[in-house]
Amino acid sequence: MKVRIMGEEYTLRTEASQEHTKAVADHVDKTIKAILNGSATMETQKAAILAALQITDDLFRERMAMEELTADIKQLAADIRPLLPPAKRGEDLGAA
C-alpha cells in the first residue's frame, strides 16, 4: 500500500488494514507538520525525529495508563470476590 508523508510517497507492506495504515501515516504526517509549524528553520529530518519521540512518548504513557488500569481492575476484583456467593467466586470448593 502507498502512503504519503510530508509530500513523499512510501510503499508499505503490512498485514494491517488499509484504513489503519492510512490513519497511522496521517498521524505521523500531522505530527511532523505540527512540529515544523512551531519552527520556521527546522529541517524535516529533525522534525521527523522529534515526531518519533513525541509519538513514542504518547505510546509509553498510554501503556503505563493501561498497566495502572489493569492493576486497579485486578484489585477491584480481589476486593469484590469475598462479597460474592461461594459459587460465583471462581474458587475450587473441593479444595477447602
Q: For 2-59, write each residue's pLDDT tens digit.
A: 999 999 999 999 999 999 999 999 999 999 999 999 987 999 999 999 999 999 999 9
Per-residue pLDDT for 67 more than 90?
A: yes
**Strand pairing partners for 3?**
10
Q: Is residue 62 part of a domain?
A: yes
Structural domains of the chain, count: 1
Average pLDDT over residues 73-84: 94
Reported as a pLDDT band with limits 50, 70 and 90, residue 86 is confident
Q: Is residue 93 part of a domain?
A: no
Show the domain range for 23. Answer: 2-84
Q: Is residue 89 part of a domain?
A: no
Q: Is residue 9 part of a domain?
A: yes
Q: Is residue 59 part of a domain?
A: yes
Average pLDDT over residues 88-95: 64
Q: Is residue 90 part of a domain?
A: no
- Of the CA atoms within 13 Å of residue 34, those in its CB half-sphere come to 11
